């Protein structure tokens, strides 16, 4: 009971946030680069994010008051840091909303039909309506997110077991670390910094011992990587025709009932995530930029569909772009905020030991390389 309350439950806050739309890009990515290369980068960036989450959590624990990413940037990096972090966070949210638009018809098409544009517009209207009327995420919908994704992962993995030997034979090639562009989709799939303040809030509100925070962060970071590997192996084991979104390529490979169930649950998870991300973007516009309510609502509703209609329509390209630019910048900001806090704070480090502190130059180098590699 103690392990469940102090480790598993808070870890699920992090892992439940991490596991999401980015997962569906991974089978195609692994197919393109091979299992050894994909597996190496999945494990490598999972480890990288563990250090980032430890730094972020330590920053939160050593800072008085309740803040979020932009608030910490203002406190420790000044007005310039605030405005840059605001831009990074806001633009990233709009691109994430666009990624949900791209992916949604792949799920709805499994139980509605093949009219892609109709399904995309229906998804956009549903999400926009919820944002317009200030809908909040409810407990049942949150449960459906986790249950839906879990059902998809394990049903697909179960059906793909029979083809695992052929999968390893077909995709187990030479490790090639030069294929660094895989970093973008994997970083996107593993990102979950948004949940770290919520995990810390859980410990503060529940009275659980702070000594379990590090274990919760590690468990919450590792579980998504394990789930992703199961999903990748399941999809590759089911079909040699792996689609960019992983889902549409499974048609005729699994029973219809599994496809329909996966489509419904996946669609519900996406619409819930769309509402949450949209509301976060709206709050930034209203509370940080002080825009009128109608302007913030109109912006959150219009900008994602404008991005889509402007040509931002390829799922892999979209997650690679966000994962290669915005998420590395977010992590770089977390590192610099922690360094400044460590310099100014009179409180001792809580979660950051010598190994994590010594890893900072390597972490910075990795994230700068990801950005530069994508740009050039």
pLDDT digits (tens, 9 = 90+) for 208-247: 676 788 888 998 899 889 989 988 888 888 766 677 777 7
Contacts by residues 287-295 (CB-CB < 8 Å, ≥ 24 positions apart): 288/70, 288/86, 289/86
pLDDT surpasses 70 at 81: yes
Q: What is the pLDDT of residue 145?
A: 62
Do the beta carbons of residue 178 and residue 313 sit within 8 Å? no
* CB atoms inside a 10 Å sphere around CB 311: 8
Mean pLDDT over each residue of the chain, to the nearest integer: 82
Do the beta carbons of residue 227 and residue 19 sit within 8 Å? yes
Q: State the number of CA atoms in the 13 A half-sphere of 288 facing the CB.
A: 22
- What six digits make up the tokens of 262? 């996966």
CATH fold of 2-375: Amino acid/polyamine transporter I (1.20.1740)
Query: In a 3-state reduction of DSSP, which class is residue 85?
Result: helix
| pTM of the full structure | 0.85
Q: How far apart are CA 89 and CA 66, in angstroms?
A: 18
Residue corresponding to tokens 């998504």: 224
Domain spans of the chain, in order of start: 2-375
Between 224 and 8, the higher pLDDT residue: 224
pLDDT digits (tens, 9 = 90+) for 148-199: 677 777 777 877 777 667 666 677 777 787 888 889 999 999 988 878 887 8
Q: What is the pLDDT of residue 369?
A: 93
The number of residues making up the chain comes to: 376
Helix axes 116-132 and 69-108, enclosed angle (nearest 10): 140
**Strand ranges (DSSP E) for 181-319?**
none
Distances (CA, A) of 5 to 1, 136, 170, 172, 208: 6, 26, 42, 39, 8
- What one-character DSSP code corresponds to residue 241? S
Q: 2: closest CA among 215, 190, 185?
A: 215
pLDDT surpasses 60 at 104: yes
Do the beta carbons of residue 195 and residue 18 sit within 8 Å? yes
Q: What is the pLDDT of residue 140?
A: 44
pLDDT digits (tens, 9 = 90+) for 124-140: 888 888 776 644 443 34
């Amino acid at each position: 009971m103690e392990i469940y309350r102090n480790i598993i439950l808070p870890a699920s806050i992090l892992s439940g946030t991490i596991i999401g739309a980015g997962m569906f890009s991974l089978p195609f990515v692994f197919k393109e680069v091979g299992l050894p290369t994909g597996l190496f980068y999945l494990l490598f960036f999972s480890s990288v994010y563990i250090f980032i989450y430890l730094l972020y959590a330590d920053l939160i624990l050593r800072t008085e008051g309740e803040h979020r990413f932009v608030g910490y940037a203002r406190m420790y990096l000044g007005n310039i840091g605030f405005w840059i972090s605001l831009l990074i966070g806001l633009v990233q949210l709009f691109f994430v909303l666009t990624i949900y638009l791209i992916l949604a018809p792949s799920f709805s098409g499994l139980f509605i039909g093949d009219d892609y544009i109709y399904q995309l517009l229906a998804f956009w209207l549903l999400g926009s309506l919820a944002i317009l009327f200030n809908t909040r995420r409810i407990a049942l919908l949150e449960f459906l997110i986790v249950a839906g994704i879990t059902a998809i992962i394990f049903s697909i993995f179960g059906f793909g077991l029979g083809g695992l030997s052929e999968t390893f034979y077909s995709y187990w090639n030479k490790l090639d670390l030069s294929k660094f562009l895989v970093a973008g989709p994997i970083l996107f799939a593993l990102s979950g910094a948004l949940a770290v303040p919520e995990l810390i809030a859980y410990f503060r509100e529940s009275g659980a011992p702070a000594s379990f925070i590090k274990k919760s962060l590690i468990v919450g970071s590792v579980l998504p990587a394990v789930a992703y590997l199961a999903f990748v192996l399941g999809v590759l084991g089911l079909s040699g025709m792996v689609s960019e979104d992983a889902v549409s390529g499974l048609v005729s490979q699994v029973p219809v009932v599994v496809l329909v169930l996966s489509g419904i649950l996946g669609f519900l998870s996406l619409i819930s995530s769309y509402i949450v991300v949209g509301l976060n973007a709206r709050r930034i516009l209203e509370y940080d930029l002080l825009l009128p309510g109608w302007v913030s609502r109109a912006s959150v509703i219009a900008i994602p569909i404008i991005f889509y209609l402007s040509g931002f329509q390829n799922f892999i390209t979209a997650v690679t772009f966000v994962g290669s630019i915005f998420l590395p910048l977010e992590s770089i900001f977390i590192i610099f905020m922690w360094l400044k806090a460590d310099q100014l704070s009179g409180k001792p480090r809580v979660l950051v030991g010598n190994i994590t502190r010594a890893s900072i130059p390597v972490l910075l180098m990795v994230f700068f390389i990801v950005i530069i590699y994508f740009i050039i």
